[in-house]
């Protein structure tokens, strides 16, 4: 009878394609307990294994280039729409008088004070105050990758002579010099063409 029981067990296992839930029914009581304990341990192990983290490809890295050739840059903190809003806000300050050390429309702006005011009021970012500090802040951007909202710096070396906010189509908004006002300038102008230009993305 034992052999007949084993044959029936073998048949059941084959019919169920070795479904583990059928195995305990065909085993002696002690072996059945061991079998169920093993299944319980395997279940705990599988439940406690953490899932693999999803791929965190940087947002915008594969974005197509815009009219200025801009693409997503790893490390950038503003979306393209936020950068556009930043540029529009900068346009709204055109005509504000220049004032050395100034950083509000009421007191007037110097070039770094203008950048500080725009970024502080249009983004959650807290930029450094001086042009030299801004030159090392954010992410370096090649001219072919520039986009609206990038910071533009003039002069060679770690200490720029001037800075502004690039607003697309070869233009930038800046607070130029004593006696002037915040205005829109073109990189194609002869004066700016003579200077070395660098870009950084907030």
Angle, CA 66 vertex, CA 62 and CA 185 arms, to 5° = 140
Tell me if 201 sits within 8 A of 193, measured CB to CB: no
Catalytic residue among 26, 58, 121, 162: 162
Whole-Å CA distances, 41 to 20, 26, 32: 14, 21, 14
Is 47 a catalytic site residue? no
Catalytic residue among 26, 47, 99, 174: 174
Closest CA to 81 of 93, 95, 99, 63: 63
Is 162 a catalytic site residue? yes
Tell me if 166 sits within 8 A of 172, measured CB to CB: yes
Catalytic residue among 26, 47, 111, 121: 111
Write out the H or E segment, with its range, that includes residue 12: helix 2-15
Is 174 a catalytic site residue? yes
CA 78 to chain centre: 7
DSSP string, 89-106: HHHTTTTPBB-TT-EETT
Tell me if 167 sits within 8 A of 184, measured CB to CB: yes
Active site residues: 111, 162, 174
């Amino acid at each position: 009878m034992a052999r007949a029981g084993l044959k029936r067990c073998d048949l059941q296992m084959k019919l169920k394609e070795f479904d583990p839930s059928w195995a305990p029914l065909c085993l002696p009581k002690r072996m059945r307990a061991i079998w169920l304990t093993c299944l319980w341990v395997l279940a705990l192990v599988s439940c406690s294994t953490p899932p693999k983290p999803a791929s965190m490809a940087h947002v915008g890295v594969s974005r197509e280039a815009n009219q200025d050739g801009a693409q997503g840059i790893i490390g950038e903190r503003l979306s393209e729409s936020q950068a556009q809003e930043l540029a529009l806000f900068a346009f709204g300050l055109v005509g504000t008088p220049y004032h050395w050390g100034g950083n509000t429309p009421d007191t007037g702006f110097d070039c770094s004070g203008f950048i500080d005011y725009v970024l502080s009021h249009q983004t959650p970012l807290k930029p450094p105050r001086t042009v030299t500090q801004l030159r090392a802040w954010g992410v370096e951007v090649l001219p072919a990758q520039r986009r609206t909202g990038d910071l533009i710096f003039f002069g060679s070396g770690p200490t720029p002579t001037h800075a502004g906010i690039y607003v697309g189509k070869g233009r930038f908004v800046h607070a130029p010099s004593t006696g002037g006002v915040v205005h829109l300038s073109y990189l194609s102008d002869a004066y700016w063409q003579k200077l070395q230009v660098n870009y950084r993305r907030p």
